[in-house]
Structure 1
Amino acid sequence: MTADVVVIGGGPVGLATALYAVRSGLTPVVLEPRAGSIDKACGEGLMPGGLQALAGLGVDPVGHDLRGIRYLARGRVAEADFTTGPGRGIRRTTLHDALAAAVASAGIEVLPFGAAEVTQDDHLVTVHTDGPSGNGPDLTAPWAVAADGLHSPTRRALGLDRDHADGRSTQARPLRRYGLRQHYGIRPWGDHVEVHWGTHGEAYVTPVGDDLVGVAVLSKQRSPLSESLAEFPELRERLDGAPVVTSVRGAGPLRQRTTHRVAGRVLLAGDASGYVDALTGEGISLGLAHARAAVAAVVAEDPQSYEQSWRAATRRYTLLTHALLHVTRPAWTRRLLVPAAATLPPVFRGAVNELARPAR
């Protein structure tokens, strides 16, 4: 089978890549072995820039409009509203379904196979596929974009995983943090994403429907969600008695580093291209920017230009996330963060809106 570009991974970033490809006059094929609506641990808050990017693709998933970000800790509150329009809390499955519908409407083929092996020469990429029943078809195209997630097999197979390339084991990585997420059947009590700061981690509260709230906890400690929530008594009191409507989903370790984002004619996008932390909640917005930039590089037949575009799109996210992680690593500085943000509202508002604007 042939195409102009093979997209490895049918999550939001992979589907967006296929949509950008079609809009650029290319014929993409998407590989995704998982059937139905794909769910994962995710904060589910889409920044205004990400929402605008989806609108540009003709995708408008239902959810709950978000007016800004609110930090809370020990009775102190810091709040910043978005200045470029609202964001939106969207169930991960709802986002996937909306993108999948757009892909189907565009006539893009999604094949139920995974990428077993990727080989290439100076002109073509061949993706050897597999599925539950054994080997699948071989797909040949001038280009491939791998958007196969946080623990991307393609990234590792191409030797682009920095920690493995350096001979460092996963156990040696610093700042190992993990995420857990669950939904509660309760009416949202605000139109901001709430970030509750604790000693070991943060709890993110995102309204995603009229009677549905998502709660995600990011922490360096690998504890059950019920134990993790004990660190946030005000939030736990809010959720007391609310029905739990989804099972707990987890992700991590969150930090994934890459040596490069391009190997020959294969480009990495989204979490597969490297990930610092979910601390700033910009993952989907950033992934959409990667998808757009990867397709632009393919159209220009200049894959190395994607390295520069990727760095430009990722720079502010990386700088702000690294800074926050570094500053809040000691317990005493974590305690000072929210009071400092409340004391300096212009600074907090500026940081929030720097992340909220569209990635370029």
Structure 2
Amino acid sequence: MFDVLIVGGGPIGLATACYLAEAGLSAVVAEPRTGPIDKACGEGLMPPAVAALRALGVDPVGRRLRGIRYCDPTHSVDAEFRNGPGRGVRRTVLHAALAERAEAVGVELVPKRITEFSQSAACVQADGLTARFLVAADGLHSPIRRACNLDPASAAPSASVSLSASASASAVPAPARPARYGLRRHFQTAPWTDFVEVHWSRASEAYVTPVDDGLVGVAILGPAGATFDERLAAFPALRERLAGAEGAGPVRGAGPLRQAVRRRVAPGGRVLLVGDASGYVDALTGEGISVGLAQARALAVCLAAGRPAEYERRWHRVSRRSNLLTAALLAARRNPVLGPRIVPAAGALPAVFGGAVRLITG
């Protein structure tokens, strides 16, 4: 028997396993995909994420980031980080570094897809694995979360659950607001800046992150129903800069981004959610990895102390600031009066913009 079974071997799942191992708990990570896993991601680590990874013994190779730049067709304003640099890191590089660290601290990695699980008063059993707790780190559309009926307006879960059946039976209610999606592609070109550039158009944002000496990532957030090239057309200056650059790798997508979750600890106290699986507002502020690492650390503290129910409170404590700031910026973004004025206001009030960036980046 393991202390903790983690379903999902992405960066936050692996980081959770590392924190648990540091706390003296045995952890096994179940992930069917082998090798570094790529996905749609802005790939910009904010300073708190860089510091947290370093404290965990992980130092992925990437490009130093000096701050954040907001741009629209007529304005550009910079805000430098004040609490250390950020880092642009390929998602695959980050995953490989965390996987190496997890193995070094004794985490067992098994190439297994969890298709069903059951929980009792003493343990959780899942596809031949037994653990005192199960942690779902299986992403935005977490099958574990749906199996536990933790999406809004879901019914109570049963003790034994088939993930494929539960995922289809427990449909997520239609969102009350237009859903947002993300698309990301890399371009082979020398980075022209050491800032994360956020280009704003009427309905979407494009994030440009240098991740290597000859590679930049471009992630575009916005409504559904458009290809990457169609979305890029909304940013003429950026499209012109990338005109001679060759695309590297496929376009990857994710969404809908907003995921409302009723609670992070399932009834029975044996199943817990972390990272994107535990709830998500939007990628607008680029804090996903920072917040996920803080959640992973909080979860490990609670399980090591034998107080899993306390994780819900600690999750809110480490996630609240980011969620509130992201929701506020997203509300302004959607407002037909305020939205077009975000970048001009940042340019007119650079001290306020710099303070907001420092607040966002911890």
Shorter-chain TM-score tier = over 0.9
Tell me how large the CA RMSD over aligned residues is: 1.5
1:260 to 2:250 alignment: no
Aligned partner of 1:141 in structure 2 is 131
Unaligned runs of 5+ in 2: 157-169
1:225 to 2:215 alignment: no
SS of residue in 2 equivalent to 1:254: coil
Aligned partner of 2:47 in structure 1 is 48
Letter in 2 for 1:233: P
- Deviation track 1:4-41 (CA, whole Å, cap 9, x = no partner) reads 11111100000001101111111101000111110000
1:189 to 2:181 alignment: no
1:10 to 2:9 alignment: yes
SS of residue in 2 equivalent to 1:280: coil
Matches within 5 A, 1:170-181: 170-181=173-184
- Contact 2:145–2:277 under 8 Å retained in 1: yes
**Aligned partners of 1:163 and 1:320: how far apart in 2?**
26
1:12–1:240 Cα change, 3 Å: same
**Aligned partners of 2:175 and 2:350: how far apart in 1?**
38
- Contact 1:188–1:207 under 8 Å retained in 2: yes
Question: Percent of counterpart pairs with the same letter?
Answer: 54
The CA deviation at 1:105 is 1.8
The CA deviation at 1:221 is 3.5
- Deviation track 1:205-224 (CA, whole Å, cap 9, x = no partner) reads 00001110000000013200
- Deviation track 1:186-244 (CA, whole Å, cap 9, x = no partner) reads 11111000000001110000000111000000001320010101100010011011011
**Aligned partners of 2:360 and 2:314: how far apart in 1?**
17
- Contact 1:145–1:294 under 8 Å retained in 2: no
Aligned partner of 1:36 in structure 2 is 35
1:212 to 2:215 alignment: yes
1:165–1:220 Cα change, 3 Å: farther
The CA deviation at 1:171 is 3.6
Letter in 2 for 1:30: V
Aligned partner of 2:308 in structure 1 is 303
- Deviation track 1:139-185 (CA, whole Å, cap 9, x = no partner) reads 11111211000100000000111265698755444230000000001
1:61 to 2:60 alignment: yes
Aligned partner of 1:237 in structure 2 is 240
SS of residue in 1 equivalent to 2:220: strand
Letter in 2 for 1:218: L
Matches within 5 A, 1:1-360: 2-128=1-127, 138-162=128-152, 164=154, 169-263=172-266, 264-357=269-362
Which segments of structure 1 move beyond 6 Å, counting only runs of 4 or more? Answer: none
The CA deviation at 1:118 is 2.4
Letter in 1 for 2:218: V
- Contact 1:175–1:255 under 8 Å retained in 2: no
Letter in 1 for 2:133: W
**Aligned partners of 2:209 and 2:322: how far apart in 1?**
20
Unaligned runs of 5+ in 1: 129-137
- Deviation track 1:83-124 (CA, whole Å, cap 9, x = no partner) reads 000000000000001111111222321111122122212221
SS of residue in 2 equivalent to 1:316: helix
SS of residue in 1 equivalent to 2:234: coil
1:168–1:111 Cα change, 3 Å: closer
**Aligned partners of 1:45 and 1:170: how far apart in 2?**
31
SS of residue in 2 equivalent to 1:244: strand
**Aligned partners of 1:50 and 1:305: how far apart in 2?**
23
1:22–1:255 Cα change, 3 Å: same
- Contact 1:200–1:221 under 8 Å retained in 2: no
SS of residue in 1 equivalent to 2:115: strand
**Aligned partners of 2:74 and 2:211: how far apart in 1?**
25
SS of residue in 2 equivalent to 1:4: strand
Letter in 1 for 2:187: Y
**Aligned partners of 2:181 and 2:255: how far apart in 1?**
5
**Aligned partners of 1:249 and 1:221: how far apart in 2?**
14
Letter in 2 for 1:174: R
1:164–1:79 Cα change, 3 Å: farther
TM-score using structure 2 length: 0.93
**Aligned partners of 1:222 and 1:270: how far apart in 2?**
27
The CA deviation at 1:355 is 2.0
- Contact 1:178–1:222 under 8 Å retained in 2: no
**How many correspondences in the alignment?**
347
